[in-house]
């Protein structure tokens, strides 16, 4: 009946969702008037488990919060423990951390682009972006031994070095990626069909994005120049990062931010490879962490926050993780009302949701 409301459970199993998330959508005809998320399908209790494991074992645990940004989870955790234990990481390790972080950002953004393209039926863009992503996975395997969870970050530095020969391979990989991006970019930026689906879809204002605590590309697509790399953790003190911003506040602007960030990541990798100093890659960390600290890192989806509380024993008293998708859930609830049901997958994918992260 026209004008009547109906409630549609969107997910948890849905063709466009790579992970289980349910949105309870209140619809008037085809228009969404209200959305409420329901999560908890894959909650793993990682924060509780972290209290049972030794603080050194937790590195492997936090890497498994999310496969896509696993290195950055380890980095945020290790940085926090290093602050508590007053450990100064060698310069070479700081640069290696940046190289692996940016490789993670690249493969995360390419993964996202494939999923977004799939959400509006652009299968060839999906395949092209995932094909390009393979090159990043291959170089991660070559440099770290693993394609997804690379386990190179340790307290006090990194576990593995990258040889000069492999550094040259890293540069070749980002060259290939840049050439691929030159093909992908005009499609995302200018293609009529893509713009029809993305421009104006899921728009929020800069004020809304700020008030709702959005982070990462969701915030930057609203003109909020905020990127935690600006604060200079790891080697970002030497390798300056300027936040990539757009002003549209819609799915198109979020796509543009991520595409442009891939170019930025390529530049950062090149700079890091060029400027990386010789020297040690780790220093020993002795004792146990005591006190409390907050460590922050800019992941591909936005800022992750680790609260770590140690009591001087090998077990932590508390480990709390606020992941970027959790922060971007409230903005998502504001993007959905007013949209057509057919655009719900596009809007959800436009925030690059990670349910693994959300349900630590």
Which chain residues interact with another protein by CB under 8 A? 36-37, 39-40, 43, 45, 47-48, 83-84, 210-213, 226, 228, 230-231, 290-294, 305, 307, 309, 317-318, 320, 322, 326-327, 329-330, 359
Helices (H), the chain: 46-52, 58-63, 70-84, 91-119, 123-144, 164-190, 192-198, 206-211, 216-220, 251-275, 324-335, 344-350, 355-358
Taking the C-alpha atoms of 136, 141, 146 and 149 in order, what is their torsion angle to the nearest 10 degrees? -20
Closer Cβ to another protein, 19 or 230, answer by number? 230
The CA distance from 82 to 73, in Å, is 14
CB of 318 to another protein, least distance (A): 5
Q: Which strands form 290-299's sheet, in the order they lie side by side?
A: 290-299, 302-311, 316-322
| 139 neighbors 165 (Cβ within 8 angstroms) | no
Q: How far is the CB of 249 from another protein (least distance, A)?
A: 17
Asked if residue 181 lies in contact with residue 200, where contact means CB atoms within 8 angstroms, the answer is no
| Nearest distance in Å: CB 329, another protein | 6
Closer to another protein at the Cβ: 212 or 354? 212
CA atoms of 121 and 4, how far apart (whole Å): 30
- Pick 202 or 331: Cβ nearer another protein: 331
198-to-31, 50, 138, 208, 217 alpha-carbon distances in Å: 17, 40, 31, 19, 15
What would the DSSP string read from start to end of 250-282?
SHHHHHHHHHHHHHHHHHHHHHHHHHPPPS-SB
The smaller minimum CB distance to another protein, of residues 39 and 142, is found at 39
Instruction: Determine the 3-state secondary structure of 137 from DSSP.
Output: helix
- Find the shortest distance in angstroms from Cβ 296 to another protein: 8
Distance CA 182, CA 180 (A): 5
Minimum CB distance to another protein, residue 41 (Å): 9
**Smaller CB separation from another protein, 67 or 213:** 213
* Least Å from the CB of residue 70 to another protein: 21
Closest approach, Cβ 40 to another protein, in A, equals: 4
> In the complex with another protein, which residue's Cβ is closer, 71 or 326?
326
Q: How far is CA 222 from CA 216, 252, 324, in A?
A: 10, 11, 16
**Cα distance between residue 359 and residue 325, in whole Å:** 10
**319 touches 50 (CB < 8 A):** yes
**Between 32 and 136, CB nearer to another protein:** 32
Whose Cβ is closer to another protein: residue 180's or residue 303's?
303
Least distance between another protein and beta carbon 289 (Å) = 9
Q: What is the closest distance, in whole angstroms, from the C-beta atom of residue 47 to another protein in the complex?
A: 7
State which residue, 83 or 283, has the beta carbon closest to another protein. Answer: 83
């Amino acid at each position: 009946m026209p004008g009547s409301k109906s409630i549609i459970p969107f997910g948890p199993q849905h063709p466009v969702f790579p992970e289980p998330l349910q949105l309870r959508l209140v619809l008037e005809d085809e228009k969404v008037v209200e959305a409420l998320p329901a999560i908890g399908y894959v909650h793993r209790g990682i924060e509780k488990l972290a209290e049972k494991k030794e603080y050194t074992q937790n590195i492997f645990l936090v890497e498994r919060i999310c496969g896509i940004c696993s290195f950055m989870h380890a980095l945020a955790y290790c940085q926090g423990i290093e602050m508590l234990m007053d450990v100064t990481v060698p310069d070479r390790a700081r640069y290696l951390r940046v190289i692996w972080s940016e490789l993670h950002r690249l493969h995360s953004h390419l993964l996202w682009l494939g999923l977004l393209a799939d959400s509006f039926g652009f299968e060839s863009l999906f395949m092209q972006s995932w094909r390009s992503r393979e090159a990043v996975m291959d170089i991660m395997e070559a440099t770290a031994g693993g394609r997804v969870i690379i386990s190179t970050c340790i307290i006090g530095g990194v576990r593995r070095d990258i040889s000069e020969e492999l550094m040259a391979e890293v540069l070749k990989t980002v060259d290939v990626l840049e050439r691929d991006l030159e093909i992908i970019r005009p499609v995302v930026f200018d293609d009529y069909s893509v713009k029809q689906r993305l421009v104006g879809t899921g728009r929020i204002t800069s004020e809304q994005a700020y008030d709702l605590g959005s982070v990462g590309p969701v915030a930057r697509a609203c003109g909020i120049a905020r990127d935690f790399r600006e604060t200079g953790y790891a080697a970002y003190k030497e390798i300056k990062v300027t936040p990539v911003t757009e002003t549209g506040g819609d799915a198109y602007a979020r796509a543009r931010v991520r595409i442009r960030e891939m170019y930025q990541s390529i530049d950062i990798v090149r700079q890091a490879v060029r400027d990386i100093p010789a020297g040690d890659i780790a220093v020993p960390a002795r004792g146990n962490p005591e006190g409390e600290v907050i460590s922050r890192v800019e992941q591909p989806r936005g800022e992750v926050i680790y609260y770590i509380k140690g009591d001087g024993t090998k077990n932590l008293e508390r480990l709390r993780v606020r992941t970027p998708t959790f922060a971007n859930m409230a903005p998502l609830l504001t993007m959905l009302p007013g949209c057509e049901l057919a655009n719900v997958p596009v809007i959800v994918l436009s925030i690059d949701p990670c349910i693994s992260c959300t349900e630590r």
